[in-house]
Amino acid sequence: MNAHDIDYKIFGEEMQYIEVELDPQEAVIAESGSFMMMDNGIKMETLFGDGSQKDSSFLGKILGAGKRILTGESLFMTAFYNNLVGKRKVSFAAPYPGKIVPIDLTQCNGKFICQKDAFLCAAKGVSVGIEFSKKIGRGLFGGEGFIMQKLEGDGMAFVHAGGTLARKELKSGEVLRVDTGCIVGFTQTVNYDVEFVGGIKNTVFGGEGLFFATLEGPGIVYVQSLPFSRLAGRVLASLPKGGNSKGEGSILGSLGNILDGDNKF
């Protein structure tokens, strides 16, 4: 195996975190900002690019970093090494309520495609690259644009899904229609496209968008019930205009703001 053979355990229900156990000389890579805690003796190293070690030349690192810019991620990733004798543990937290999904790339023919912000962490040696859409409709209206992330290698990778997770195993020719934002990821054998909802009433008054994704088997699809974009939209919609809370319109709410010092005179 090219990727490190790591052990792991997932804790929690709604707000999960993953604990990775590293043997001596093993390492795990993670997105910036996902680190939670680690045992004493683990060494952190910032990597320029995706950290896959496929091409260690300067040009290879530049290309790896360029891929991450296209997916909207940071130029850098962080690697956590166990350089001591004995096992060490490092943990990473989910960014918002949902589920952490372990993906064994050896069972996905070495490749898994996911939305751009789904990746959490992976064994050292797993490549985090980009997957371009070859269809103009999918690229323009698929919710994720022309670019999705692809995880390649023969190790374990971990992605995050918002809300409740649904795992669908599609047979050959079986089609699943999904809201474009609810897709977490799918195996490379799944055919992904975008379809127009159709109908004047559906288009104008449906409130569900103009397009949905069609996923055709064979393969495995992961679907999330709460995309971050939907969660953020609800939070923004509930914020009071001007930034001042009115306590749901109650007199006590306004009085509470005065007592808390929120109102300035």
**Any idea which architecture 7-239 has in CATH?**
4-Layer Sandwich (3.60)
Q: Which residues pair with 13 in a beta bridge?
A: none
Bigger pLDDT: 70 vs 109: 109
Q: Which residues pair with 176 in a beta bridge?
A: 215
Helix (H) / strand (E) element for 68: namely helix 58-70
What span, in angstroms and rounded, lies between the C-alpha atoms of 154 and 151? 10
pLDDT band at 195 (very low <50, low <70, confident <90, very high): confident
Question: How much is the pLDDT for 251?
Answer: 47
Of 51-65, 138-152, 213-227, minimum mean pLDDT range: 51-65
Question: How much is the pLDDT for 259?
Answer: 45
* Stretch 99-115: mean pLDDT: 93
Is the full-model pTM beyond 0.85?
A: no
What's the mean pLDDT when you consider all of the chain? Answer: 78
Write the DSSP string, 153-180.
SSSEEEEEEESSEEEEEEPTT-EEEE-G
